[in-house]
Amino acid sequence: MKGFRLIHSVALIAGLLFLYVPIGILILYSFNASRLVTVWGGFSTQWYASLLSNQALKDAALLSLGVAMASATIATVLGTLAALALERARPGRAKLLFGGLIAAPMVMPEVITGLSLLLLFVALNVERGAITVTLAHATLTLCFVTMIVQARLATLDRSLEEAAQDLGASPWRVTLTITLPLALPGIIAGWLLAFTLSLDDLVIASFATGPGATTLPMRIYSAVRLGVSPEINAISTLLIAGVAALVVTASLILKREKLIA
């Protein structure tokens, strides 16, 4: 038994190292004084300062953040409504079909999804740019939000909703005052996942974007093809810090609500 636990511990540590050592190296070399990424030239913050003069990276970062927030919000609203429909609907072929359609983007190759959206935008004669990227990312992440919120709704105590209905509350009032507050942890988790997936996406954004709407992953990919710059490490570190701050803030909010409850 001890040997089995030792193997599990070693596997866990190896997995964590595999995940986080490359991120640690990226953060470390963002403070490298040398322009050569593989040569340590001393500690320096010059690459963070040089980001202020790199207008292309700043514009791409602001565009990606705006698209990620907008698409995550759209996906969270629609995904929550879809989760409510799936969880409250009676079992049947319609529910099965609807659930399959919602989950399809999750298993669909991103190249196929991106190409399909591109053909749709071309057929509708929609000018491609930030709006089309936002809609494409909302389409991609909606299924993830739906699954997370539905899993949260499945664990809720239905007796609370039934008690509210017995006291005369309408279905809408029950949903707004009982169901959604109880499902809030799942909704926040879904928004964070949708935000992260949108911020990270490269393939679908490449199909859905147009001139003047280059996202940060696209900008980084085009820059990396010519060699990794320390500025890329610096802006990647800032993104990691921003996402980590969001996750910690959301965790603190949820923890505080549990203590209040």
pLDDT digits (tens, 9 = 90+) for 52-80: 787 888 888 889 989 999 999 999 999 99
Please check the confidence at residue 142 and state whether its pLDDT lies above 80: yes
- Domains and their CATH numbers in the chain: 54-260 (1.10.3720.10)
> What is the average pLDDT across 148-159?
84
Please check the confidence at residue 229 and state whether its pLDDT lies above 80: no
| Backbone angles phi and psi of 43, in degrees to 5 | -80, 135
For residues 156 and 125, what is the distance between their CA atoms, to the nearest angstrom? 44
Total residue count of the chain as it appears in this document: 261
Q: What is the pLDDT of residue 211?
A: 80
Q: What is the pLDDT of residue 1?
A: 54
pLDDT tens-place string over residues 22-36: 888 888 888 887 777
Tally of CA atoms within 13 A in the half-sphere of 99 that contains its CB: 16
**Which residues are CB-contacts of 255 (< 8 A; sequence separation ≥ 6)?**
none
| Backbone angles phi and psi of 48, in degrees to 5 | -70, -40
Q: How far is CA 125 from the centre of its chain?
A: 28
DSSP SS3 for 108: coil
Q: What is the pTM of this model?
A: 0.81
> What is the average pLDDT across 139-158?
87
Q: What is the pLDDT of residue 249?
A: 79
Q: What is the pLDDT of residue 218?
A: 87
Please check the confidence at residue 145 and state whether its pLDDT lies above 90: yes
What are the angstrom distances between the C-alpha of 232 and each of 46, 209, 215? 13, 21, 14
Q: Are 199 and 239 in contact (CB under 8 A)?
A: yes
Q: What is the pLDDT of residue 89?
A: 72
Residue 202 CB neighbour total at 10 angstroms: 14
Q: Are 28 and 159 in contact (CB under 8 A)?
A: no
Please report, rounded to a whole number, the percentage of residues in the chain having pLDDT higher than 70.
95
pLDDT bracket for residue 19 (50, 70, 90): confident
Burial class (CB in 10 A: 0-12, 13-18, 19+), 12: exposed
Please report, to the nearest 10 degrees, the dihedral formed by the alpha carbons of residues 54, 58, 60, 62 taken in order: 180
Please check the confidence at residue 214 and state whether its pLDDT lies above 90: no
What are the angstrom distances between the C-alpha of 147 and each of 78, 82, 142, 181, 253? 12, 9, 9, 17, 22
pLDDT tens-place string over residues 170-206: 777 887 788 888 888 889 889 988 998 998 888 899 8
Residue tagged 């409504």 (tokens): 81
For residues 203 and 197, what is the distance between their CA atoms, to the nearest angstrom? 12
Tally of CA atoms within 13 A in the half-sphere of 143 that contains its CB: 14
